[in-house]
Amino acid sequence: MADREELLTIDIVALSDFLGELEGDTGTGAALLAAYMNDFKQRNPAGTLILDAGDAFQGSLLSTAFRGRPVIELMNAIGYDAMTVGNHEWDWGVEELLEVMKPARFPLLGANICLSSGERAPWAAPYHLIERSGLRIGIVGFTTIETLQVTLKSKLKGYTICEARDIADEIFREVKNKGADIIVVLGHLPIYCSPITPDYYGELVELVREFHPYIDAAIGGHHLSPCRLNIEGVPLVQTAPKGTMLGHIRLVYDKSVNQVIQCESELIDLSSNPKGLEPDKIIDGLVRDYQTQLSGRYSEVIARTAEHWPVAYERQMAIGSCITNVMREKTGADLAFFNAYGIVAGIGPGPVRMEHVYNVLPYEGNRILVGRMRGEQIYRVIEQSLTLQKGLLQLSGLKVVYESDSTGGKTIHTIYDSRHRELKSDGWYTVAVNEFLGDGGDGYDVLAHIRWESVRADIRELLAADFRGKGSLEPGLDHPYIDRSQSWM
């Protein structure tokens, strides 16, 4: 057994998909998040790492209105050690991202972000070497290849994302050769869990399975479902979004054998504040200062609702019906589509303000496009939607009747238009979509090949006008998806 002085403890504290959730309306808030991170640093000041796995800025009005500056100030105040580029870091374009990152006192990582010419992007470091408790730790950052599907093509112009596995061996060897005692993968790489079996899959799982001899710990992100697992002795964690959860990995390193001899991991649900910590007063003051600067611009009450309108990506949402109905009414289209993951927050109960509308729809790509589609193209879009790979496509103007099987698969039985006429495969229909979908976002390649015209209208402003006109909101649901084997979705 090693002497106690030969054993060193490293605490890795991480989160992903913070989405700019500073206020805690739908999460826990930056002040409580800071309290928990600082608690780890106080208990192990020489051996704690604070890491972010990407998608930190976009997702709330408070962060978006100030172009991520409050989040950078939060990270600097806590003392973050590194951050990986997530897909939403591309939303404002590279030039603005680099402007956002100028005050950051930590590096931005992305080993597999490349120029179109094939060279590595100069502004994203492949890894970061840092010392903790006398150990040299290599933090290697990777970005999901799904970025190519979920980002506006105009924002990615001149860049591409390589498969992490294609370059990982070279990167890991380089980090080892530079003296790293421990290697941590900080990945905006998803971990998925099969709905049929207890198996895990996804980019991070595949990376660790192939390169586990190099890796001591791995942080996942991009997929919003939390999970904790161990692959070949390597602990992996992926947190829930919006700062509601922290991932914690503890490594025990034995200097006598120069390797990690013990690891454990946990997911800490901050929504219940399990340690009863007081929110950090400095961070609370920072958030309040930004709220004061924003007050008045978006605080107007435009409507009221007595009920909560939740976000549920696997079904048609009440807010999704409102959005797509407004799109169809504004354009006169036969039907409208909106991507489920473009809806970030619900509303109610209580007064509905402009800030709530922007929190519902915080991302870029919310201009409305209109085009003509054949019925068979619409069928293909709906088939893809029913896989639920990117949530259920929110729609208006259609009734989709399908059947589910025992494996979770779904087969379309019939699609009806708004007049309850069966959709004709060779018929032509006018369709309204948001700019993100019209760009082929979420892998809807069919939509990428339609000739779209912009109506130069922002869905957020149209939705706000609709709410303002109604005054009192009822979460009516159109139930456009009907499962013949069960009930409506």
Instruction: Indicate the angle between helix axes 69-78 and 281-294, nearest 10 degrees.
Output: 170
Residue 38 has pLDDT above 80, yes or no: yes
Q: What is the mean pLDDT of residues 74-84?
A: 98
Reading the block at residue 119, the tokens are 């060279």
Domain 4-291: CATH architecture, name and number where available = 4-Layer Sandwich (3.60)
Q: What is the pLDDT of residues 307-333, one digit of tens each?
A: 999 999 999 999 999 999 999 999 999
Instruction: Please give the Cα distance from 244 to 259 (Å, whole number).
Output: 32
Residue 27 has pLDDT above 60, yes or no: no
Residue 488 pLDDT class (50, 70, 90 cuts) = very low
The predicted pLDDT at position 364 comes to 79
Residue 196 pLDDT class (50, 70, 90 cuts) = low
Q: What is the pLDDT of residues 113-152, one digit of tens each?
A: 999 998 999 999 999 999 999 999 999 999 999 999 999 9
Instruction: Please give the Cα distance from 343 to 346 (Å, whole number).
Output: 8
Q: What is the pLDDT of residues 363-421, one digit of tens each?
A: 877 899 999 999 999 999 999 999 998 999 999 999 999 999 887 789 999 999 999 99
Q: What is the mean pLDDT of residues 218-226?
A: 95
Q: What is the mean pLDDT of the chain?
A: 93
Q: 300-483 maps to which CATH number?
A: 3.90.780.10
CATH 3.60.21.10 maps onto the chain at: 4-291
Reading the block at residue 415, the tokens are 């699609």
CATH 3.90.780.10 maps onto the chain at: 300-483
Residue 194 has pLDDT above 80, yes or no: no
